[in-house]
């Protein structure tokens, strides 16, 4: 049962600088990083291929300047890619006229920005209703809809405030509410929590997960914070110098880093946060004891297993026993022992 | 003695000294030289070599007005159309504020509805003050308008206000649209930039002439001139404000699916509202600056009063009307600033109230207006402020000036003679004496030394234009008047600036004085000066110095303040005494900034010079002024360009000079 692909991009390039297109085709669409630099261009995105599946949280992660923002803007055609193919639900997005793009953005896409991008002259209510206003919806209808999403992000009572009267976290809640007001199919978030304090950031991540549990959007989420990435992601794409180095689940990234660069990222991450029960369980099936979900992260069940003092059965989605897990395996993960030894994959 | 001097001077110093000495000799003996060589052209540019640019422009204008046609309509139809479009709202505003609505003409005219009463106007501005900020502002603007009534300036002030009320929206809207075009299309931006730069340096008078020629003498011409004069900063502010909208905000607009039009009017313009309001404030202030000048081509009101009394040398009346302009300017300036800074969120509580409560001021104003209108038929005092209760300070000022003149005549005269014979006249003789061919050589040489052959060529071309149009002597007179004024303004301004940078109490006092000097319309300086010193170069110089002092003080203060404190500490640590600290560290490091101030001083001085033509100078300003009275377009424009070119040469020389100083001190370039 394959989950359908919502949005994909193939061999997407974005080079900044004069004569980028001519340069790219002159090099058979495969210039190296050095060649790009020598030509005086900036290779912001180089040959990116991604497939975002319906309902998943797809995180793009990389250090500052690695091209994350550029890539996500290419996906929504805020920036026109120099080269490459974009497919939205199987339709060629790059063939859409500017009129069609306006329609697609109005109804199918929502975006949250790092610095919130709220309109200073509008109240919270008006900001959230703005995308609907642009579509020509009448005032009372759009305000009803806007109040709904304001409720959803927990800002009720603040409808008549102006952005500058809100804290950073509250402002980003407005940004989130505004992007949700049009009920988009695809939700782009460009480092939405990077401008917030660590404590608020954590709270907003929880809030974000709560919303996603309700809404099941297809999400492209940008971050430069690996902790944030593994907390939220179904899959992570790691970018470096404009190129995507690896796309994998958080667990696979930790278990099988494609390059040393990825490994460096994953080194400092506590294994218990990333690994699922499935990856460390023993194949031996037992029936007695509290059942443990195979897809749960070790972190969340560690206490249960250790406290029980014995092996517990591991079950899959259909509540069928597929293996067992004991204290030793958990402690192994927690103290960072050899992973591959007990990994089943 | 000579040897010691030459030892102390560096090689470039020697070079400049010898160039100067040679120029001095040439200047002093130019007459003898030209006679000896039998070459009169050396001192007087031969009329036969002149470009006929003046006449060409004039006949082009003639052609435009008489024959030019765009197919469907002629050029004259177009100017008439523009005039009509401006005339309509202006007449309405004038009727509301000043004349009242009348039916019929001349003797048979019947007043249908009187103008809005002074009580209602005062109430309106008070309400606006309270609405935009607080009761403090309300009191200030209320007092300002009551002042206008009490001191008998009401009628003129309302005429002026009517023209401001028309000029400002046109200026703002035009500037906004041009700014938007410059933001959207690069080529518009590229096209507009040099035009705006040039417009800032051409004296206003120069473009009064073609306007006068096209639209005739009258309030419409005055309004058009005001609009053209006040629009450029709005264009710049708009383009800049739109560019500085955060890119994320623009991206949000695109993601929300805004059409280009929605993007402009729902995102870009409203989110740069506060920056745009700064532009609006600029337009208002520049329009007020134009009030007096505009009266030369037909504006009535306060500006006309000032101009008329200046011509009659009626100091008291001129001063009163001048002060009234200042009062009006302060009131409008504060009001529009408050409007720009007003925080929308303060009014949130209003939203859900009953309609009547939501607009209390508007409703009260309508009530007061109606009451004073009806009551005005019974008690005329409500309609217009009675003459019997008016005060005039005219006599007081006249007496004051007369007293000063009687009691201090000798001292004033001595000061005047001393400066004239000791400073002004020698400089004048020197500059005017320089034979023009040598003048061109020196200017190009300076350009070459400062900025290479490009600058040299530019300077040569611009000064060549002046010579080729036969304006060399007049241009040198301008340079002389401007030069002596700038020297004196710098001698006064820089020490004051340095002092105020080092002493915070002095700083506060100085900045109040400087702010006031800058809000006064330029003409106001002329009145007391002429009263005390009568017409002539000396009066012109004093007026220019007063007008151009502000930037010298400001930049010097800023330059000294922004010196890296570590450098000062290093100086103290190495044992500098306070005075050494000043001479060895503070002044040299502030020098680039002081030079930028000098640049600004020169610009202001040049623009003031044209105005001082009224008190009988004989420079390019006078040329423009004469062209204005004769409606001679070519003459006015050419002289205007000549002034602009002097300004551009001075600007480029000083800017590159300051840049080189910066490099020498290793300072980073700052944006100013
Ligand atoms: N409009 C532009 N013109 C030229 N270069 C650009 C432009 N936008 C981005 N770049 C360059 O492209 C590269 C990638 O930029 P991008 O903003 O996508 O990085 P990022 O991963 O989002 O970084 P950050 O975490 O700082 O937001 C950078 O080197 C940047 O300097
Ligand atoms: Mg980014």
Could you give the ipTM of this predicted complex?
Answer: 0.88
Higher-confidence position of B666 and B650: B650
List, for residues B528-549, the tens digit of each pLDDT value.
787 777 777 888 888 888 888 8
Identify whether A256 is part of a domain: yes
C-beta atoms surrounding A287 within 10 Å: 8
Would you give the DSSP letter of residue B70? -
Q: In a mutagenesis test of the B interface, which of A101, A119, A136, A175 is the best target, namely the one with the most B β-carbons within 10 Å?
A: A119
Select from A77, A101, A117, A163 the residue whose CB has the most chain B CBs within 10 Å, as the one to mutate to test that interface.
A117
Same domain, A337 and A216: no
Asked which of A233, A266, A299 is the last residue of a domain, the reply is A266
| Residue A195 CB less than 6 A away from ligand 1 | no
Give, for B446, the enclosing helix (H) or strand (E): helix B436-468
**Cβ-defined contact of B273 to A115 (cutoff 8 Å):** no
Higher-confidence residue of B655 and B109: namely B655
Q: Rounded CA gap, B180 and B126, in Å? A: 34
Asked if residue A8 lies in contact with residue A89, where contact means CB atoms within 8 angstroms, the answer is: no
Give residue ranges of B with CB < 8 Å to any A CB. 246, 248-249, 251-252, 254-259, 262, 266-267, 270-271, 273, 344-345, 348, 351
Span B276-328, pLDDT tens digits? 888 888 888 888 888 888 888 888 888 888 888 877 777 778 888 888 888 88
CATH of the domain at A222: 3.40.50.300
B265 → chain A, closest CA residue: A134
Considering only CB atoms, B258 lies closest to which of A134, A182, A188, namely: A134
What pLDDT is stored for residue A192 in this prediction?
92
The pLDDT value recorded for residue A78 is: 93
Ligand 1 atom closest to the CA of A242, numbered from 1: 14
Contact A113 B251 (CB under 8 A): yes
Tell me the C-alpha distance between A128 and A150, whole Å. Answer: 8
- Is A69 touching ligand 1 by the criterion CB < 6 Å? yes
Is the separation of the CB atoms in A203 and A211 below 8 Å?
no
pLDDT the model gives residue A338: 46
A227 and A196 in a common domain: yes
Q: Whose CA is nearest to atom 1 of ligand 1?
A: A16
Neighbours of B656 (CB within 10 A): 16
Q: Is residue A21 part of a domain?
A: no
CB contact under 8 Å between B251 and A121, yes or no, is: no
- For the stretch B433-485, pLDDT in tens is 888 888 888 899 999 888 888 889 999 999 998 888 888 888 898 899 899 99
**Inter-chain touch A105–B256, beta carbons under 8 Å:** yes
Which residue of B lies nearest to A129 if distances are taken between CA atoms? B256
Question: Would you state the pLDDT for residue B6?
Answer: 52
Catalogue all structural domains in chain B, each as residue range(s) with its CATH number.
74-101+113-397 (1.10.3720.10), 411-664 (1.10.3720.10)
Check CB contact of A117 with chain B, cutoff 8 Å.
Answer: yes
Interface contact B248-A130, CB threshold 8 A = no
B344: pLDDT strictly greater than 60: no
Q: How many angstroms separate the CA of residue B338 from the nearest CA in chain A?
A: 17
Task: Say whether both A208 and A282 belong to one domain.
Answer: no
Minimal-distance CA residue to ligand 1 atom 29? A65
Q: Please check whether residue A91 lies inside any domain of the structure.
A: no
d(Cα A171, Cα A177) in Å, to the nearest integer? 10
Per CB-CB distance under 8 Å, the chain B contacts of A76 are: 255
pLDDT band at B215, cuts 50/70/90? confident
* A148's tokens: 């709904």
Residue with tokens 């404009």: A242
Report the pLDDT value the prediction gives residue B671, as an integer from 0 to 100: 40
Q: Which residues of A touch B276 (CB under 8 A)?
A: none
Q: What is the CATH number of the domain that holds A309?
A: 3.90.1280.20
Domain membership flag for residue A192: yes
Answer yes or no: is pLDDT of B67 > 80.
Answer: no
| pLDDT reported for residue B348 | 53
Assigned domain for A205 exists? yes
Ligand number nearest CA of A64 is 1
Closest A-chain CA to B269: A121
Check pLDDT > 50 for residue B670.
Answer: no
Do residues A126 and A197 share a domain? yes
Same domain, A235 and A299: no
Closest protein CA for atom 8 of ligand 1: A70
Chain B CB contacts of A105 below 8 Å: 254-257
Ligand nearest to the CA of A44: 1
Q: Residue A24 domain-assigned?
A: no
Mean of pLDDT over chain B? 81
Between residues B583 and B375, which one has the greater pLDDT? B583
Q: Could you tell me where the DSSP H helices lie in B244-314? A: 247-255, 260-262, 269-271, 273-289, 291-294, 301-312
Residues within 5 Å of ion ligand 2, judged at the Cβ atom? A 69
Give B136→chain A minimum CA distance, Å. 25
Burial A170-193 (b: 16+ CB within 10 A, else e): bbbbbbbbbbbbbebbbbbbbbbb
Mean pLDDT of B254-261: 92
pLDDT band at B382; cut points 50, 70, 90: low
More confident position, A226 or B76: A226
Q: Do A160 and B351 touch (CB under 8 A)?
A: yes
Choose one of A244, A266, A288: the last residue of a domain: A266
> Does A296 share its domain with A239?
no
CB B549 within 8 A of CB B604: no
Q: Are residues A231 and A327 in the same domain?
A: no
Size of interface A-B (CB pairs under 8 A): 67
Contacts of B271 in chain A (CB under 8 A): 119-121
pTM: 0.78
Instruction: Among A250, A266, A282, give the residue marking a domain's end.
Output: A266
> Cα distance from A121 to chain B (closest Cα, Å)?
6
Pairing of strands A235-240, A243-248: antiparallel
Q: Do A115 and B248 touch (CB under 8 A)?
A: yes
Residue B355 is predicted with a pLDDT of 58
Find the domain containing A69 and state its range: 55-73+99-266
The maximal CA–CA distance of chain A, rounded, in angstroms, is 68
pLDDT interval class at B519 (50, 70, 90): low
Q: Are residues A118 and A145 in the same domain?
A: yes
Residue A40 belongs to a domain: no
Helix and strand counts by DSSP (H, E) for chain A: 15, 13
Tell whether A12 is covered by a domain: no
Region for residue A84 given its phi and psi (left: phi exceeds 0; alpha: psi -120 to 50; beta: otherwise): left
| CB of A68 closer than 6 angstroms to any ligand 1 atom | yes
Closest by CA position to B269, among listed B163, B177, B346: B177
> Exposed, middle or buried: residue B542 (CB in 10 Å: 0-12, 13-18, 19+)?
buried
**Between these two residues, B46 and B469, which has the higher pLDDT value?**
B469
The edge-to-edge listing of strands for the beta sheet with A292-293 is A292-293, A312-315, A321-325
Q: Which residue has the higher pLDDT, A33 or B592?
A: A33
Tell which atom from ligand 1 comes closest to the C-alpha of A70: 18
From the alpha carbon of A62, which atom of ligand 1 is closest? Answer: 21
Is it the case that residue B244 has pLDDT exceeding 80?
A: yes
Q: State whether A253 and A313 are in the same domain.
A: no
Residue located via tokens 């001393």? B418
pLDDT in tens, chain A (345 residues): 578 999 999 999 999 988 888 888 887 768 888 888 888 899 999 999 999 999 999 999 999 999 999 999 999 999 999 999 999 998 999 999 999 999 999 999 999 999 999 998 899 999 999 999 999 999 999 999 999 999 988 898 999 999 988 999 999 999 999 999 998 999 999 999 998 888 888 988 999 999 999 989 999 999 999 889 988 999 999 999 999 999 999 888 888 899 999 988 888 788 888 888 888 888 888 888 888 888 888 888 888 888 888 888 888 888 888 888 888 888 888 876 544 434 443
In chain A, the number of structural domains is: 2
Give the Å distances, CA to CA, from B304 to B217, B292, B461: 13, 6, 39
What are the φ/ψ torsions at residue A218 (nearest 5 degrees)?
Answer: -90, 125
CB A62 near ligand 1, within 6 Å: yes
Q: Residue range B400-418: average pLDDT?
A: 83
Residues of B in contact with A182 (CB under 8 A): 256
Does the structure show a pLDDT above 80 at B41? no
Q: Is residue A70 lining ligand 1, measured as CB closer than 6 Å?
A: yes
Closest chain B residue to the Cα of A165, Cα to Cα: B345
pLDDT recorded at residue B49: 73
Is the domain of A230 the same as that of A184?
Answer: yes
């Amino acid at each position: 049962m394959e989950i359908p692909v919502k949005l994909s991009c193939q061999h997407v390039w974005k080079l900044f600088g004069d004569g980028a297109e001519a340069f790219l085709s002159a090099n058979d669409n495969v210039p190296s990083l050095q060649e790009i630099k020598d030509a005086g261009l900036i290779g912001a995105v180089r040959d990116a291929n991604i497939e975002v599946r319906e309902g998943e949280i797809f995180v793009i992660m990389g250090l500052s300047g690695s091209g994350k923002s550029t890539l996500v803007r290419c996906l929504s055609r805020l920036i026109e890619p120099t080269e490459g193919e974009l497919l939205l639900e199987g339709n060629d997005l790059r063939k859409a006229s500017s009129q069609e793009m306006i329609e697609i953005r109005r109804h199918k896409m929502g975006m949250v920005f790092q610095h919130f991008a709220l309109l200073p002259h509008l109240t919270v209510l008006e900001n959230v209703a703005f995308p609907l206003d642009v579509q020509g919806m009448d005032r009372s209808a759009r305000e009803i809809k806007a109040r709904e999403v304001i409720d959803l992000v927990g800002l009720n009572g603040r409808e008549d405030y102006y952005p500058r009267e809100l804290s950073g976290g509250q402002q980003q809640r407005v940004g989130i509410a505004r992007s949700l007001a049009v009920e988009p199919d695809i939700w782009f978030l460009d480092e939405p929590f990077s401008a917030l304090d660590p404590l608020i950031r954590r709270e907003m991540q929880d809030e974000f997960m709560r919303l996603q549990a309700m809404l099941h959007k297809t999400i492209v989420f940008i971050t430069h914070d690996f902790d944030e990435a593994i907390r939220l992601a179904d899959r992570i794409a790691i970018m470096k110098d404009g190129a995507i180095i690896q796309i994998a689940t958080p667990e696979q990234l930790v278990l099988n880093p494609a390059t040393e660069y990825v490994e460096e990222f994953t080194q400092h991450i506590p294994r218990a946060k990333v690994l699922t029960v499935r990856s460390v369980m023993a194949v031996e099936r037992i029936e007695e004891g509290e059942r443990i979900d195979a897809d749960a992260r070790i972190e969340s069940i560690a206490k249960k297993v250790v406290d029980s003092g014995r092996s517990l059965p591991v079950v899959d989605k259909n509540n069928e026993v597929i293996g067992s897990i004991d204290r030793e395996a958990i402690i192994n993960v927690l103290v960072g022992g050899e992973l591959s030894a007990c990994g089943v994959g | 003695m000579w040897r010691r001097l030459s030892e102390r001077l560096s090689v470039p110093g020697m070079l400049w000294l010898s160039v100067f000495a040679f120029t001095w000799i040439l200047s002093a003996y130019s007459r003898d030289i030209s006679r000896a060589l039998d070459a009169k052209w050396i001192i007087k540019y031969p009329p036969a070599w002149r470009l006929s640019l003046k006449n060409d422009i004039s006949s082009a204008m003639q052609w435009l007005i008489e024959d030019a046609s765009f197919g469907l309509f002629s050029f004259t139809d177009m100017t008439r159309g523009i005039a009509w479009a401006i005339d309509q709202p202006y007449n309405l505003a004038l009727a509301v504020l000043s004349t009242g609505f009348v039916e019929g003409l001349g003797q048979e005219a019947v007043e249908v509805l009187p103008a809005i009463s002074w009580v209602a106007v005062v109430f309106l501005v008070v309400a606006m003050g309270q609405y935009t900020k607080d009761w403090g502002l309300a009191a200030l603007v209320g007092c300002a308008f009551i002042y206008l009534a009490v001191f008998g300036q009401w009628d003129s002030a309302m005429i002026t206000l009517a023209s401001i009320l028309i000029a400002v929206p046109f200026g703002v809207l035009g500037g906004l649209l041009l700014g938007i075009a410059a933001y959207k299309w690069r080529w518009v931006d590229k096209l507009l930039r040099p035009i705006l730069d040039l417009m800032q340096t051409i004296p206003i008078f120069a473009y009064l002439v073609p306007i006068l020629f096209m639209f005739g003498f009258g309030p419409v011409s005055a309004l058009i001139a005001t609009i053209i004069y006040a629009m450029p900063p709005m264009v710049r502010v708009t383009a800049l404000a739109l560019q500085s909208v955060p890119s994320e905000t623009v991206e949000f607009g695109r993601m929300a699916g805004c059409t280009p039009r929605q993007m402009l009017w729902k995102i870009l313009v409203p989110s740069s509202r506060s920056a745009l309001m700064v532009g609006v404030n600029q337009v208002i202030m520049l329009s007020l600056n134009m009030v007096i000048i505009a009266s030369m081509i037909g504006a009535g009101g306060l500006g006309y009063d000032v101009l008329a009394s200046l011509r009659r040398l009626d100091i008291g009346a001129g001063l009163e009307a001048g002060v009234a302009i200042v009062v009006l300017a302060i009131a409008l300036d504060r009001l529009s600033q408050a409007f720009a800074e007003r925080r929308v969120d303060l009014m949130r509580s209003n939203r859900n109230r009953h309609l009547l409560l939501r607009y209390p001021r508007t409703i009260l104003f309508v009530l007061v207006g109606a009451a004073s209108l009806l009551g005005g038929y019974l008690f005329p005092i409500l309609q217009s402020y009675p003459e019997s209760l008016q005060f005039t300070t005219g006599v007081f000022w006249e007496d004051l000036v007369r007293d000063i003149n009687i009691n201090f005549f000798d001292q004033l005269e001595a000061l005047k003679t001393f400066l004239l014979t000791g400073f002004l006249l020698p400089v004048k003789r020197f500059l005017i004496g320089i034979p023009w061919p040598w003048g061109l050589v020196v200017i190009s040489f300076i350009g070459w030394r400062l900025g290479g052959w490009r600058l040299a060529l530019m300077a040569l071309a611009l000064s060549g234009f002046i010579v080729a149009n036969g304006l060399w002597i007049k241009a040198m007179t301008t340079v002389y008047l401007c030069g002596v004024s700038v020297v004196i303004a710098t001698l006064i301004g820089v020490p004051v600036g340095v002092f105020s940078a080092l002493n915070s109490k002095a700083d506060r006092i100085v900045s109040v004085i400087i702010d006031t000097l800058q809000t006064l319309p330029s003409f106001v300086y002329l009145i007391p000066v002429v009263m005390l010193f009568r017409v002539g170069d000396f009066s012109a110089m004093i007026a220019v110095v007063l007008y151009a002092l502000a930037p010298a003080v400001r930049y010097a203060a800023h330059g000294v303040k922004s010196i890296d404190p570590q450098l000062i500490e290093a100086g103290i640590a190495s044992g500098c005494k306070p005075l050494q600290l000043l001479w060895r560290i503070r002044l040299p490091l502030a020098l680039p900034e002081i030079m930028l101030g000098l640049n600004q001083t020169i610009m202001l001085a040049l623009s003031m010079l044209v105005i001082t033509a009224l008190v009988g100078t004989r420079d390019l300003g006078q040329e423009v002024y004469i062209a204005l009275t004769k409606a001679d377009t070519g003459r006015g424009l050419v002289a205007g360009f000549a002034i602009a070119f002097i300004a551009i040469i001075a600007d480029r020389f000083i800017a590159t000079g300051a840049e080189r100083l910066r490099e020498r001190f290793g300072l980073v370039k700052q944006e100013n």
